[in-house]
Amino acid sequence: MTEINKILVCLKRVVDYNVRVRIKPDGSGIVLDGVKMSINPFDEIALEEALRIKERGEAKEIIVASIGTQENQQQLRTGLAMGADRAILVETTEKLEPLAIAKTLMALVNREVPQLVMMGKQSIDDDNNQTGQMLAALWDRPQATFVSKLTFKSGTAVATREVDAGLEVISVDLPAVVTSDLRLNEPRYVKLPEIMKAKKKPLETIALTKLGVESTTQFRSLTTEPPPQRPKGVMVSNVRELVQSLRDRGLV
């Protein structure tokens, strides 16, 4: 029995997790020229779960949305190839902060009226873990974050959350915001026939300014630096030397 009319899944374009990130010589950011870009892995997990919900007959339509330049069409087409019904690109050349992203998604929510909004718990580039929570606050709807299992019953979503103390099971009324954790599922492999079919699926482009969202930034990045290199290991012959070495490094 179908309970959900629409699911809106948010996809972010990020550097592929298999790529070794390099810092620009002037420290102004990371090198993106010629670098493979992909869907944020946590967002891909969220899309996979939305598709499984639809395949169980519990949802009618899956919409994928992304915010950025025309290059984001690549990730949206991948989402369509995975099985989404249509895509929306909110076009902007500016790098938006989490609050501006949440406001943009809120504008899409008002436009599409989904019963469920899904996204990854965080992106692997900024690691902010803020957008889902901010969207739920703006929407004034319940949220289930860090979800590793999701089921539906009588207009509610039952979510198993991964928390510091273990697992927590909560029930939230729909509409709601759900952010996915790593163990929710394993995304499917996209085959060539699906990629070809995705080219015929609708992909709408909307300018950010037409949604009435301001892209004012509150923070400015001063410099980007790589993490310090790990020091070389030291061979010790007994416990006394080990303790002394740890003391010399200020670790005990």
% of the chain exceeding 90 in pLDDT: 67
The separation between CA 113 and the C-alpha centre of its own chain, rounded to angstroms, equals 20
**Domain segments of the chain as ranges:** 4-227
Looking at domain 4-227, its CATH class is alpha beta
pTM: 0.87
Q: pLDDT band at residue 126, thresholds of 50, 70 and 90? A: confident
Structure tokens at 57: 């007959």
Check residues 114 and 31 and name the one with the higher pLDDT.
114
Give residue 190's identity as a one-letter amino acid code: V
Q: Using one digit for the tens of pLDDT, what is the confidence trace for 74-88? A: 999 999 999 999 999
Where b means 16+ CB within 10 Å and e means fewer, 23-57 reads eeeeeeeeeeeeeeebbbbbbbbbbbbbbbbbeee
* Residues 187, 192, 198: CA angle, nearest 5 degrees: 80
